[in-house]
Amino acid sequence: MKSSALSQLGRRTGPPAISWLIQLALTRPNLISLAAGFTDNPSLPVDDARAVLDEILASPRTGQPALQYGSTAGDPLLRELTAERLRHLDGAKRGAAAYAVERVVITHGSQQLLYILAEALCDPGDIVLVEDPTYFVFLGIAQSHGLRCRGIRLNEDGIDLEQLEHTLAALKRSGELRRVKLLYLVSYYQNPTGITTSLAKKVAALQILKRYERAAGHPIYLLEDAAYRELRFTGGDVPSALTAKGFSERVIYTGTYSKPFATGIRVGFGLLPEPLRTVVLNIKGNHDFGTAHLLQKLLARAIASGRYEKHLVELRARYAAKAAAMHVAMKKHFPAAVQWRRAEGGLYHWARLPARVKTGVKSKFFQAALARGVFYVPGALCYADDSSRSKPDGEMRLSFGSAGIPDLRTGIERLGTVLRRFIKE
């Protein structure tokens, strides 16, 4: 048998970008991983989860429905709490149409929703606009579906609007605008850079997209991935794109309860305009006809009881302390030529090395760091394949999510030792 029976998608789909890194961490336990986007084990709400599950399963009245199938769209109470919570976060009026409970879909992690959205909107060869750099698993979805990505440069407060405009204009000229389906923004404490997009930029981006819709012949959506919104350390919350007046039919908002509560409890959500909501539900009907009901009941009760909020307050303080410890260690051990912004939320610092030092998995620097017992996510993995620019490869994503403070300090110290070997000042 010479050939395999695989589909085009099956042939295209590569291994996850960091599967090799994860394997590395498992096989060499003495390595300090600054790569993983895991939350840290001691932060996980074991007692809260136990108490809530115990309440749910204490009686058949609440226990049986939790162990039964639910609906494809999700548990009605969790959908209601989700809509209300988001409306409150956004400071929107009661009854605001953008936060109608009908718009809420509960998914098996927000990852599942990103996947289904790609399926619902994009054919092979279609174009998605992404931040440069962006979330690498989204790039994996795009690669698997044969999509083309165009990277839009990131400034301190989000994408470069001029480049967005320039890219759309160029695609219009080349007759490819009809292939553009969405702009994907990881808008809060972005993975990997930590950058938060201002509301003004989100509104301006929506206005720009709108201007190109006629030439595209169809809506161009803003997909706002707010996965890290709740992991805020300092500063105020930024309203979501749902607050942009007149644009609620163009904004797809996705969020997650996994990272703010427990990653072992995979529950994400989205707020979607029609006809997307219906199509997403039809597709999800084929994926799984509904997210595990028990986990939805767990989260609904954790939120309704206030345990979720309480845990979140603790989690923020915990990550803030870890981010600070990492930042201080970086200041102490990294050469001055290495640049980063102190994290204000999320799980990552993004460090830029002087131009001549490469950070890729095959680079001398990466190998030297490994030999010294520490590793990170090479920046190049977070950039889309986009032939219109060369892929930067002098950055590192440094996560303070999974390791404890002592390991973070040791890891940064080790990395500093290697950096000083490569960067003579």
Which residues ranging from 120 to 139 are in contact with a second copy (CB under 8 A)? 120-123, 126, 137
Q: Which stretch binds a second copy (CB under 8 A): 15-23, 196-204, 305-313, 341-349?
A: 15-23
102 versus 288: smaller Cβ distance to a second copy: 288
Distance CA 311, CA 298 (A): 14
Residue whose CB is less far from a second copy, 33 or 291: 291
Helix, strand, coil percentages in the chain from 3-state DSSP, rounded to 5: 45, 15, 40
Task: Give the span between the Cα atoms of 209 and 182, in whole angstroms.
Answer: 9
Whole-angstrom Cα distance, residue 298 to residue 291? 12
Q: Does 41 bind a second copy (CB under 8 A)?
A: yes
Contact yes or no for 253/270 (Cβ under 8 A): yes
Determine the distance from the C-alpha atom of residue 142 to the mean position of all C-alpha atoms in its chain, rounded to a whole number: 14
Residue with Cβ nearer a second copy (234 or 282) = 282
Per the structure block, which two tokens stand in for 9? 């998608």
Nearest to 322 by CA among 225, 400, 249, 423: 400
Position 266 contacts a second copy (CB under 8 A): yes
Kindly identify the residues of this chain, within the stretch 315-354, that bind a second copy according to CB under 8 A: none
Q: CB-side exposure of 269: number of CA atoms within 13 Å?
A: 26
Cα–Cα distance measured from residue 347 to residue 73, given in angstroms and rounded to the nearest whole number:
29
Of the residues 100, 275, 371, 421, which one makes contact with a second copy according to CB under 8 A: 275
Strand runs (DSSP E) across 126-273, as ranges? 127-132, 148-155, 158-159, 180-186, 221-225, 251-256, 268-271
DSSP, collapsed to helix, strand or coil, labels residue 184 as strand
Stretch of residues binding a second copy (CB under 8 A), selected from 197-205, 258-266, 364-372, 374-382: 258-266
Three-state SS across 227-247? CCCCCECCCCCCCCHHHCCCC
| Residue 367 in the binding site for a second copy (CB under 8 A) | no
Q: Which is nearer to a second copy, 8 or 339 (CB)?
A: 8
Near a second copy by CB under 8 A: residue from 89, 265, 382, 408: 265
Q: For a second copy, give the closer residue by CB, 99 or 135.
A: 135
Residues 377/35, Cβ–Cβ less than 8 Å: yes
Among 27, 68, 174, 390, binds a second copy (CB under 8 A): 68
For residues 198-237, which are near a second copy according to CB under 8 A?
213, 216-221
Given 181, 277, 307, 352, the residue binding a second copy (CB under 8 A): 181
Number of residues that bind a second copy (CB under 8 A): 88
Report, in Å, the least distance between residue 168 CB and a second copy: 15
141-160 binders of a second copy (CB under 8 A) = 141, 144
Helix (H) or strand (E) holding 316: helix 307-333
Q: Which 8-state DSSP code applies to residue 97? A: G
Taking CB under 8 A as the binding criterion, the range among 36-44, 352-360, 365-373, 379-387 that sits at the site for a second copy is 36-44
20 binding a second copy? (CB under 8 A): no
Residue number, 140 or 346, with CB nearest to a second copy = 140
Q: Which of residues 285-304 bind a second copy (CB under 8 A)?
A: 285-295, 297
Q: Cα separation of 265 and 271, whole Å?
A: 20
Instruction: Compare residues 5 and 336 and give the one whose CB is closer to a second copy.
Output: 5
Q: 262 or 369, CB closer to a second copy?
A: 262
CB of 17 to a second copy, least distance (A): 9
Contacting a second copy (CB under 8 A), which of 24, 25, 44, 96? 44
- Amino acid found at 247: F
Contact status: 27 vs a second copy (CB under 8 A):
no
116: left (phi over 0), alpha (psi -120 to 50) or beta: alpha
